[in-house]
Structure 1
Amino acid sequence: MTQTTTTYGKLIGASLGPGDPELITRRAWSVLQSGARWLYPVKKAEESSYALSIVERGGLAVPADAEELVFPMTRDAEILAKAWTRAAVRTVELLGEGRDLVFLVEGDASTFATFGHLARVVRELVPEIAVETIPGVSSFAAAAAITGTTLAEEDETFAIIPAAYGVEVIDHLLDEFDTLALLKVKPLVDEVIDLLEQRDLLASSVFIEKAGAPDQRIVRDVASLKGEKVNYLSLMLVQNPKRVRGELRRGCRKRQAAKTEESAISEAVIPA
């Protein structure tokens, strides 16, 4: 009796950038029109998808067979585990038809994105499934460009952190990094503003909501946001121009000097 072997399609994570369809890369644009079946994330069944809306604003029609995958916004481990399993099993099922799948990702697929977890679980279920990740513009990179903020130059340091780690961690990191990108800042806006006020950093901070989208909002008077409910897709860029930096070790030059010294010693002790 002959045993049939399943030929799986490829799972492709297409990064779309944070909101402006002009930031979709040529590779992602090409894949979207390649005939691969579209998958897109939603928080609830039949709810609108922000990732899908980016593509629609770019002028592409949504294929009739595009399918949503539900990733609920909750910290309940049991609910999350079930949702992830359902999404991964369905993805494997569709890939088993032999057709490539392109999963729409807002921002960059490798940075705080749903795609990384989905791809990992899919490969755990079927290790031979091929996965391609198409890089894209991250929300903080777009926000920096839009607001004219330099994230880091020369020997400066830069950190990206979900604001949910709390103000104590943020306070510590302000002494370690020249610029912080505080992602998903919505739940802690007031606490972060209080911290920035205490550290006299309000003037060197900027708030960006839905970077690149038609309803994008930039607030430079960050203190004015106190008590306001902001969108989930929001972040702050905070710079600490007063940060005291330690002495930099120029390792390459030191190593070169050490090698020269070693060579001189060798030549002195090795007989001709």
Structure 2
Amino acid sequence: MTTPKTYGKLIGASLGPGDPELITRRGWAALQSGARWIYPVKKAEENSYALSIVERGGLPVPADAVELVFPMTRDPAALGKAWALAAARTVELLAEGRDAVFLVEGDASTFATFGHLARVVRELVPHIDVETIPGVSSFAAAAAATGLPLAEEDETLAVIPTAYGIEVIDHLLDEFDTLILLKVKPLLDDVLGLLERRGLLATSCFIEKVGAPDERVVRDLATLKGEQVNYLSLLLVRNPKRQRGELRRGCRQRQEAREAAGA
């Protein structure tokens, strides 16, 4: 009878968006548990932002830490190959029987690489144990850094990648009290134009590399026009012109109409 191979556990450790003091106690313990560190890079032997967060926290990088390459491209073939290689390498490491902790900037469950990696790993070996350690998201840290509330009482909130496009963003401004626009770099000027047309520049704020030593907060958004900002940037957009609680009232009215019709 063949003895089943024993695999280590794959741990996604959320590190927060830049400030090592935002790493949770649970995440800190995982980093010091003896598990092998795995960290993402965009190109081979390139600096890892996730790794830099831990280094600023004072932890030395283990000599046997392993980088996984996740290229910044929209080419499906290139992405598919990279994901397959990363997952295969992760399974290979876990097959040694030792846990592996994957370093995640921000929160591992929010627009993060870890969820996809874990899914592909489990497609290869379904019984591999996966643990996700939650953390502080970039937009939560940005709200705290700027003093802007994300949502109060019955206000509504939406979080979307800016790549969804200007038409979608324009529509959502009518549906939500606060919009969080992630990865604004490619469409920044277009978004600024939209906010200017809708009179929302004054109630919006730009945050770049929140929590990092070179964090930047810009409240005068007009000064950003034409600028090439960092990839790790976002916009918090508050729409005070939208009637508060509108979505909840609409849902309540529809519920009351259904109840009346069924009476």
TM-score bracket, normalised by the shorter chain, equals: over 0.9
1:76 maps to amino acid: D
Residue 137 of structure 1 is matched in structure 2 by 136
1:68 aligns with 2:67: yes
Instruction: Work out whether residues 184 and 233 of structure 1, in 8 Å CA contact, stay in contact via their aligned partners in 2.
Output: yes
1:248 positional shift: 1.7
Deviations 1:50-90 (A, max 9, x none): 00000000000000000000000000000000000000001
1:5 positional shift: 1.7
1:4 positional shift: 3.2
1:183 positional shift: 0.1
1:89 aligns with 2:120: no
Residue 54 of structure 2 is matched in structure 1 by 55
Residue 31 of structure 1 is matched in structure 2 by 30
2:131 maps to amino acid: E
Task: Flag the structure with larger Rg.
Answer: 1
Deviates more, 1:134-143 or 1:242-251: 242-251
Alignment of 1:218-233 (within 5 A): 218-233=217-232
Residue 213 of structure 1 is matched in structure 2 by 212
Instruction: Work out whether residues 15 and 105 of structure 1, in 8 Å CA contact, stay in contact via their aligned partners in 2.
Output: yes
Residue 42 of structure 2 is matched in structure 1 by 43
TM-score for both structures, normalised by structure 1: 0.91
Return 5+ residue gaps in structure 1 as ranges: 263-272
C-alpha separation in 2, matches of 1:145 and 1:116 = 26
Residue 270 of structure 1 is matched in structure 2 by none
Instruction: Work out whether residues 193 and 202 of structure 1, in 8 Å CA contact, stay in contact via their aligned partners in 2.
Output: yes
Instruction: Work out whether residues 107 and 138 of structure 1, in 8 Å CA contact, stay in contact via their aligned partners in 2.
Output: yes
Residue 248 of structure 1 is matched in structure 2 by 249
Residue 14 of structure 1 is matched in structure 2 by 13
2:96 maps to amino acid: E
Residue 99 of structure 2 is matched in structure 1 by 100
Residue 127 of structure 1 is matched in structure 2 by 126
2:114 maps to amino acid: F
Deviations 1:218-263 (A, max 9, x none): 0000110000000000000000000135362696xx99xx9xxx9x
SS class of match (2:249): coil
1:248 maps to amino acid: R
SS class of match (2:108): coil
SS class of match (1:206): strand
2:87 maps to amino acid: A
SS class of match (2:175): coil
State the superposition RMSD in angstroms: 1.5
C-alpha separation in 2, matches of 1:215 and 1:21 = 14
C-alpha separation in 1, matches of 2:73 and 2:222 = 29
1:95 maps to amino acid: L
Residue 116 of structure 1 is matched in structure 2 by 115
SS class of match (2:47): coil
Instruction: Work out whether residues 175 and 244 of structure 1, in 8 Å CA contact, stay in contact via their aligned partners in 2.
Output: no
2:97 maps to amino acid: G
Return 5+ residue gaps in structure 2 as ranges: none
Residue 151 of structure 1 is matched in structure 2 by 150
1:107 positional shift: 0.1
C-alpha separation in 1, matches of 2:167 and 2:137 = 25
1:196 aligns with 2:234: no
Residue 174 of structure 2 is matched in structure 1 by 175
Deviations 1:124-154 (A, max 9, x none): 1100000000000000000000000100000
Runs of 4+ in 1 over 2 A off after TM superposition: 244-247
Instruction: Work out whether residues 36 and 101 of structure 1, in 8 Å CA contact, stay in contact via their aligned partners in 2.
Output: yes
Change (3 A) 1:143 1:6: same
Instruction: Work out whether residues 109 and 115 of structure 1, in 8 Å CA contact, stay in contact via their aligned partners in 2.
Output: yes
C-alpha separation in 2, matches of 1:27 and 1:7 = 24
Residue 266 of structure 1 is matched in structure 2 by none
C-alpha separation in 2, matches of 1:182 and 1:152 = 15
2:90 maps to amino acid: T
C-alpha separation in 2, matches of 1:40 and 1:27 = 18
1:80 maps to amino acid: L
